[in-house]
Amino acid sequence: MKLAPQKVTLDRVKIEGRIRKLTRGLDITIEPDGEQLVFSNDEFGLLISALTLEEGITGISEELDTLFEVYVNENPENLTKDAQKLRKNLQSLVPAGAKA
């Protein structure tokens, strides 16, 4: 019997070594795949495979941290229009004035 996908909403993630409270929830879908769990978020294209819930949440946080490093910390003039949209969407996750 295959288990149905589950959804969790993260209200905090680790970005640049600090736990940050998000301005809105980050929805994560968790699907069993054999002995692994697959964690995904369509909004940011996140996809992680892990053995435990803790490893998966850590992996999602690390992927999001990488997106912040690549897009938010970059000069917007160096980004394409689509990358600038992604940057703005990422920035909307953390409170205004909080350095990501």
Residue 2 burial by Cβ neighbours in a 10 Å radius (0-12, 13-18, 19+): exposed
pLDDT at 99 over 70: no
The pTM score is 0.84
pLDDT of residue 45: 94
Mean pLDDT, range 71-83, rounded to an integer: 93
pLDDT of residue 97: 58
On whether residue 97 sits in a domain, the answer given is no
Q: Domain containing 70: what range?
A: 6-91
Total count of domains within the chain: 1
pLDDT of residue 51: 96
On whether residue 85 sits in a domain, the answer given is yes
On whether residue 1 sits in a domain, the answer given is no
Q: Is 53 helix (H, G, I), strand (E, B) or coil?
A: helix
- Indicate the average pLDDT of the chain: 91
On whether residue 96 sits in a domain, the answer given is no
* Token pair of 31 as six digits: 């699907």
What is the distance between the alpha carbons of residues 77 and 79, in angstroms, rounded to a whole number? Answer: 6
